[in-house]
Structure 1
């Protein structure tokens, strides 16, 4: 074992920090979560996709045979129709897409990052403009979401604190002192705030689903599905509200649809932020558990060495600069490093206390 390799093992500057380890752990868990989701959805949806392809091929051949049209000409017509859908052409005439209300609905889906995909610019100028328009609009909307989150958490904290003091006002004398001090001794936990946000999102989604079920002709389950897809800004585009022709004459529904979208996205964004704090705490717990396992394993190895092996290891150095010197490494059970808690202040400075290195010079007489 060389001296260079020894110092690379002992120096904590080569070990990632705790935050970096947390980042790697989160990335690995997200990758595993995505792989598990891909496997589940592939198992559920792949048979339906294959069946749909088979049904479509049979219908295409049947239509081509009955009306004496070649399959290539029919496919060419269908490709042209797919291109026309971008401009708003539908088999059943819907509402206008690029009048002022339709364009306002489009820019709302852009700045909120929902992006249903039903409406998209077809001109080159519109596509170029959308890049800069979305860059500024999405940034401003995210700022608005953050400000909404601060006020929502403040309001929920006041409601939870009011309920806490009211519950314990008669039985707990400390509750009165807390109330007199403005609640400095007691604050709601992130779990309570997350629960309140979840209930709020659920109430908004259920209320919006009732409206969409009545106005769009969807089932209640389809309406709830649309609410989650829209409020979470996923925006698949399989269900889109307010696109029927008769919706142009219902101004109240158009306004209510925009307000529900805004409220739902803001509440869901706040819920996601609160849940991310809980996930980070879970990752911290995993790191603490790994750290505890690492320390226990290291203590067991150290006890085994102290009982069954020499307590001091001597390594000879053959380098010209250290010829005639020996490195003596004495294990120290008082400290262990699994990752750095901070960045070293000086490059090359070893902050490791895991082992004590003593240099003993031997002169040849």
Structure 2
């Protein structure tokens, strides 16, 4: 009953958070939208005044068609040295990578009916496979970057409290991951993209690795980009590596905050919660064991009676607690 109350409480908080975000975006963005609309209308009037022989309907039809073609990724400018191909192999690989990782910049997107149908079935099997693969890699990295270092630190500095040691480790690893995934790549994108400031590049990194992918900033789309094929391949590698790092940070937070009842509703799945409850009923004092994986029930059951009560065992129930 208590968990249902917590779920209802979280739903209320989420609705308030959603309404607050809508109010703030409307308050901040609408004045800029009005300014741009007024600027475009003034340009429209000035252009028709300079060219009175031009039909307003013809001009409107031309602009509508040009904007539609531009949304498909095809340039309508004639004074460019070459036409940029949006569906060559590397660009298609970039589209496939950003689609399967659910980033989905929306630039470009399939135009033909066969491409749209294929995209549906391609994503139907590809997205679960991609996310599962990234999650598995992140779990392996968790062993290397969390479990092994914590065991070593506990043996080296066993006077520190286990929770304190976990918090210090989490702060260090997450800070390093943020530096590696957001702040350093933002410097590179700032130097490679002409029209991106550092804040724009940092915004792009966060929007991409959070899989929001608004598409307002897409790397490698400016004219005259040097080595565009290699650049897009490197961006794909950055996105995959960055998503693994994000998954890793989530895993670290899950292990760090799993004992908090409210936060565990966000960070732990139902299966993990049921396993935790079952383990707690079997071994209520097992929380004293440092850095033992709570969801590894098979490891916990392999406890021999010959273990000395004074020994602390990682990944198993402490015999002294029984």
Same fold by TM-score greater than 0.5: yes
Cα distance in 2, alignment partners of residues 249 and 123 from structure 1 = 28
Q: 1:142 aligns with which of 131, 139, 151?
A: 131
Stretch moving more, 233-242 or 192-201: 192-201
Whole-angstrom CA distance in 1 between matches of 2:75 and 2:93: 20
Change (3 A) 1:58 1:285: closer
Q: How does 1:203-352 map to 2 (within 5 A)?
A: 203-217=180-194, 218-247=196-225, 249-272=227-250, 274-275=252-253, 284=262
Given the alignment of the two structures, is residue 56 of structure 1 paired with residue 46 of structure 2, yes or no? no
Q: Does structure 2 conserve the Cα–Cα contact (< 8 Å) formed by 1:111 and 1:141?
A: yes
Measure how far apart 1:114 and its partner are: 0.6
Question: Residue in 1 aligned with 2:97?
Answer: 108
Three-state SS of the structure 2 residue aligned to 1:23 is: helix
Q: Quote the residue 2:149 is aligned against.
A: 159
TM-superposed deviation, 1:82: 2.3
- Structure (1/2) with the larger strand percentage: 1
1:330 matched residue in structure 2: none
**CA contact 2:98–2:104 (8 Å) conserved in 1:** yes
CA RMSD of the aligned region, Å? Answer: 3.2
DSSP-derived class of the 1:88 partner: coil
Deviations 1:266-322 (A, max 9, x none): 2223334555677876663899xxxxxxxxxxxxxxxxxxxxxxxxxxxxxxxxxxx
Q: Any unmatched runs of 5+ in structure 1?
A: 1-16, 176-184, 288-340, 342-365
Deviation track 1:117-173 (CA, whole Å, cap 9, x = no partner) reads: 11100001111111111111111111012112212322221234434544x27xx4x
Distance in 2 separating the partners of 1:195 and 1:160:
12
Q: Distance in 1 between matches of 2:249 and 2:163?
A: 22
Between 1:25-34 and 1:109-118, the stretch displaced more is 25-34
CA distance, structure 2, for counterparts of residue 227 and residue 51 of structure 1: 28
Q: How far did 1:191 drift?
A: 7.7
Whole-angstrom CA distance in 2 between matches of 1:286 and 1:145 = 22
The structure with the larger Rg is 1
Distance across 1 between alignment mates of 2:135 and 2:190: 31
> Normalization by structure 2: what TM-score?
0.70
Aligned length: 260
Which of 59, 82, 88 is equivalent to 1:74?
59
CA contact (8 A) 1:115 1:235 kept: yes
1:85 matched to 2:73:
no
Please report how far the alpha carbon of residue 249 of structure 1 lies from its aligned counterpart in structure 2 after TM superposition: 3.0
Contact 1:156/1:193, CA 8 A, preserved across alignment: no
The answer for the alignment partner of 1:27 in structure 2 is: 11
Counterpart of 1:19 in 2: which secondary structure? helix
Report if aligned partners of 1:191, 1:278 keep a CA contact under 8 Å in 2: no
Counterparts of 1:116 and 1:212 in 2: how far apart (Å)?
16
Q: C-alpha distance in 2, partners of 1:72/1:282?
A: 63
Distance change >3 Å, CA 186–CA 48, structure 1 → 2: closer
CA distance in 2, matches of 1:279, 1:48: 41
Question: What TM-score, normalized to structure 1?
Answer: 0.62
Q: Of residues 121, 129, 138 in structure 2, which corresponds to 1:132? A: 121
